[in-house]
Amino acid sequence: MLLIRCPYCEETLPEMEFTYAGEAHIVRPENPSDMSDEAWRDFLFIRSNVKGPHFERWRHSHGCARFFNAVRDTVSDRFLTTYKAGEPRPDLASLLSAAGQSESEK
């Protein structure tokens, strides 16, 4: 069972308290009616499905109930970081190098 840090509660808690909520940084367009069919299809359905670091949303359902963002490696399941909804994407390169350092300490 994963341990996840809620950026609002500032606590690391068991996965059971959280719910996965899909890919992050997919913003609902301001005026959906102006969107082409293709653009709307992409917004609804097309996801990056990466092997590796994935920007994704979680909800602290059984805690503060806030939605927040995370970067999780889909291969190792390891969380690289979590951050509040609305904050910009963290820099992946520095996250990975930080993770690499802690990895090599083992």
Partner 1 sequence: MTNFRVPGRGRVQHGKPVTFTFDSKTFRGLEGDTVASALLANGVHLMGRSFKYHRPRGPVSAGSEEPNALVGTRRGKGQFEPNTRATVQEIWNGLQVNSQNKYPSLKFDIGAVNDRAYMLFSAGFYYKTFMWPKSFWDKVYEPFIRSAAGLGVSPSEPDPDHYASRYLHTDVLVVGAGPAGLAAARSAASAGLRVTLVDENAEAGGTLLSEPQVEINGQPAWTWLASELAELEKLGVRIMTRTTAIGYYHQNMVGLCQKLTDHLKTPDAATPRERLWRVRAGQVILAQGALEKPLVFDGNDRPGVMLAGAAQTYLNRYGVRVGSRAVVATSHDSAWYAAFDLAEAGTFVEAIVDTRQEPRSDLVTEAKRRGITVLAGYTVTGTSGRLRVSSVRVNKVQNGKVLEAETLTCDCLLMCGGWTPSLHLFSHTKGSLQWDPEAQTFLPDRKTEDCQIAGAGRGLWGIEAALTDGRDMGAACAKALGKSPAVASVSVGNDRPGTGVSHTELPTDLNPGKARAFVDYQNDVTAKDLRLAVREGMRSIEHVKRYTTNGMATDQGKMSNINGLNIAADALGKPQPQVGLTTFRPPYTPTTFGALAGYHRGDHFEVTRKTPIDGWAEAHGAVFEPVSQWRRAWYFPKPGEDMEEAVSRECRATRASLGIFDASTLGKIEVVGPDAVEFMNRMYTNPWTKLAPGRTRYGLLLGDDGFIRDDGVIGRLTNDRFHITTTTGGAARVLNMMEDYLQTEWPDLKVWLTSTTEQWSTIALNGPNARNLLEPFVEGLDLSDEAFPHMSIAECTVAGFPSRLFRVSFTGELGFEVNVPARYGRALWEKLFEAGQKYDICPYGTETMHVLRAEKGYIIVGQDTDGTVTPYDAGQGWAVGKTKPDFVGKRGLARPDLAAEGRKQLVGLLTKDGKTKLEEGAQIVFDPNQPIPMKMVGHVTSSYHSVAAGRPIAMALVEGGYSRMGETVYIPMPFGTVEATITGTVFYDPEGERLKL
Question: Could you list the residues that contact partner 1 (CB under 8 A)?
Answer: 1-3, 19, 21, 27-28, 31-33, 35, 37, 40-41, 43-44, 57, 59, 61, 65-67, 76-78, 85-86, 106
What is the smallest separation between the CB atom of 15 and partner 1, expressed in angstroms? 8
What is the smallest separation between the CB atom of 20 and partner 1, expressed in angstroms? 12
Q: How far apart are the first and last CA of the chain?
A: 21
What is the smallest separation between the CB atom of 65 and partner 1, expressed in angstroms? 7
d(CA 87, CA 83): 7
Nearer to partner 1, 1 or 93 (CB): 1
Read off the DSSP letter of residue 90. Answer: P
Nearer to partner 1, 61 or 95 (CB): 61
d(CA 38, CA 47): 14
What is the smallest separation between the CB atom of 60 and partner 1, expressed in angstroms? 11
Degrees, nearest 5: CA angle 42-26-81:
135
Nearer to partner 1, 41 or 50 (CB): 41
Query: Using an 8 Å Cβ cutoff, are 16 and 1 in contact?
Result: yes
